[in-house]
Structures are given as structure tokens and as C-alpha cells.
Amino acid sequence: MILLTGSNGQVGFELASRLPALGSVVCAARSDADIALDLGDLGAIEKALDAQRPRIIVNAAAYTAVDAAEDNAELADRVNHRAVAVLGAWAARNNALVVHYSTDYVFAGNGEAPYCEDEPIAPQSVYGRSKADGETALRASGAAHLILRTAWVYAPRGKNFLLTMLRAAAERERLRVVDDQIGCPTTAATLAEITTHMLAAPGLRENSGTYHAVSTGSVSWCGFARAIIQGAHQRGLLARATPVDAIATGDYPAKARRPAYSVLSTEKLQRVFGIVPPSWQAGLDATLDRL
Ligand SMILES: NC(=O)c1ccc[n+]([C@@H]2O[C@H](COP(=O)([O-])OP(=O)(O)OC[C@H]3O[C@@H](n4cnc5c(N)ncnc54)[C@H](OP(=O)(O)O)[C@@H]3O)[C@@H](O)[C@H]2O)c1
């Protein structure tokens, strides 16, 4: 049995429709799921696992509010780090495998070439630190695991940059978007497909470890916004192609510090699992087609 946490989140929702191809799935979330589970309640996690006894745990739940985390460090740490330690410890004792998601925000972002998995991390925010600590705890647990670092996740539903841009473009004359942060926009569907392929691959446990799982190519938030608006206009989702002005990070103050360059190399994912993720433009087209 596969236990899926965070089944109402962007990634969890896409996983919930794909994982059943691999076996029976129990969805766990704070509400609207097969079982209720609050990852902030560390004692409840072990009880749920003892009751369900999964052979695979897919942890798509996380505290993902990057700016709010600066003021909620304890909760971010509990959900993104200590809860992951509990999942890992249970999995190690019970010979289960844990799939866990992490983030490009574990890196400092002052590089100029795509980050590989084994490069030193230096998170710049409370969220990034909590995710980095979650990775470390899972590795230390001794459980078989896949840590999939992803980035700039969006989907046709949920809280994300694409939906924010479409709303803003419909309401305003012009938009101003940061042009000096570069990353890899990745759809939740792409990540769910990569996950499902990895779980179906032979020799999964021998390939336990950390992988970068993002779309290929890279773009700034401003370039991404322009592509979203152009694609939406072409599909008749926006009446006009609202212009987007490029601004600097300093012109858009945010509580949390974000990496300037957090492009992730997917070379290891391709080499070990033979998975070539789609380009970010293909992911965007597929998402706009679903709207
Ligand atoms: N979004 C991004 O841009 C991004 C970038 C890099 C990495 N990631 C990582 O990718 C993974 C999936 O992210 P996502 O984009 O799917 O996030 P999301 O849409 O924000 O979903 C997160 C899910 O976690 C659940 N959750 C939060 N706190 C919880 C708690 N205390 N107990 C149980 N469930 C809780 C939320 O439940 P409710 O529905 O009840 O709120 C939500 O369903 C996460 O590990 C995230 O860190 C995301």
C-alpha cells in the first residue's frame, strides 16, 4: 500500500490520480482524504503509520508559504523537518521507502551553472532551512528514500505563480515582475509523472538518494510571466496580452530571501532512471491547455 500525504496540494493532487497505477493508495491530509493526518502533530504520524503499514510513503505535504515561514519558523520546522524525521524513522524500522520533495531554495543561488545534487547547500530563508533539515533527517534515518528537489511548482489549481499572473493580467494595465531570479518552472503533473516512473523502475532501492526533478531549461520570473500571458492570450484565456515590465528583486521587497540563480541539473535523473523531463515551455503549454 502507498500512503500519500498532502493529497490536496498541487503535487499531491496530481499524484493521487497516477499512483493507483502502482498499487492501492491511501490519501492522508488534514481534511478531504481517506484518513485525517496533521503532520504538525508528530505523535499522530506514528499512530497513522502503525495503523496503515504502508510499503511506500509519498510525502507531498509541506509548509510551503515561503514568506510566512519567516514568522512561523517553529511550524515550518515541525512540518518540513521533524515530521519527515518521524516518517523516516518509521520507514527504517519497517523496511518502507519514503519519497520526499525538497526545493531549489536549499541553495544559495549565487552560482552560474545548473546545480548538481552533491553541491553544497546554503539556504537563505527559514523555509529553505526547514526543507534542508528535512532532507538531512531523512538521509540520517537509514530508510530507503528518494528526495526529489523541485522548483517553481504550478498547476491549473492551487496557489501558484501562473494563476496569480492570469488574475493580475486580467485586472491591470501593466505588470511588474522580477527579472533577476532565474529558475526552472515545473508543473505538478510533470513531477507526479517523474515520481510514478521512478517508483515503477527496477532496482529502486539501490538507487536510493537525492535527485533534481524539474523541467529542463530556465527562465526568470519575468520571462515566465510573459510566456504565461502570451500563451493565455493565444488560447483566448486573456482578452489582451498585458505587458510585463522587468524589475529587480530589490524593487519588490519580500520577507524571505530567494536565490538569484537556482537552476537545477537533471543529468542524474536522466543517467540513473533514464527520465528526460519536458521543457518548461512544454509544461506551460500543457497546463494552459488544461485551463
Ligand atoms: N510550490 C513550489 O513552488 C515548490 C517549489 C519547490 C519545492 N516544493 C515542494 O514540493 C512539495 C509539494 O508542494 P506543493 O506545491 O504541492 O505545495 P502545496 O500546493 O502548498 O501543498 C502542500 C500540501 O501540504 C499540506 N500541509 C501543509 N501543512 C500540513 C500539515 N501540518 N499537515 C498535513 N498537511 C499539511 C497542505 O494541506 P492543506 O491543503 O490542508 O493546506 C497542502 O495540501 C513540497 O514538499 C514543497 O516543499 C514546492
Q: For 189-211, what is each residue's pLDDT tens digit?
A: 999 999 999 999 999 999 999 99
The Å distance, Cα 239 to ligand 1 centre, comes to: 32
pLDDT, tens digit (0-9, with 9 covering 90-100), for 61-85: 999 999 999 999 999 999 999 999 9
Distance CA 205, CA 54 (A): 16
The answer to the question of residue 287 being in a domain is: no
The answer to the question of residue 228 being in a domain is: no
**pLDDT value for 49:** 98
The answer to the question of residue 252 being in a domain is: no
**pLDDT value for 146:** 98
Mean pLDDT of the chain: 98
In the chain the beta strands, taken as DSSP E runs, fall at 2-5, 25-29, 35-36, 56-59, 97-103, 144-150, 153-154, 175-178, 182-183, 186-187, 209-212, 219-220, 244-247
**pTM exceeds 0.95, yes or no:** yes
Atom 13 (ligand 1): residue with closest C-alpha?
11
**pLDDT value for 79:** 98
Q: Give the total number of structural domains in the chain.
A: 1
The answer to the question of residue 49 being in a domain is: yes
The answer to the question of residue 130 being in a domain is: yes
Q: Which domain holds residue 79?
A: 2-152+185-215+265-278
**pLDDT value for 84:** 99
Atom 8 (ligand 1): residue with closest C-alpha?
103
**pLDDT value for 156:** 98
**pLDDT value for 209:** 98
The answer to the question of residue 256 being in a domain is: no
Counting ligand 1 atoms within 8 A of each CB, the residue from 5, 8, 64 with the most, and so the one to mutate, is 64
The answer to the question of residue 247 being in a domain is: no
Which residues in the chain show pLDDT less than 50? none
The Å distance, Cα 178 to ligand 1 centre, comes to: 24
Ligand 1: atom nearest CA of 159 is: 19
Residue 246: which residues within 8 A CB-CB, separation 6 or more?
176, 177, 178, 179, 220, 222
Q: Is residue 211 annotated as a catalytic residue, yes or no? A: no
**pLDDT value for 189:** 98
65: CATH: 3.40.50.720
The Å distance, Cα 166 to ligand 1 centre, comes to: 21
**pLDDT value for 290:** 97
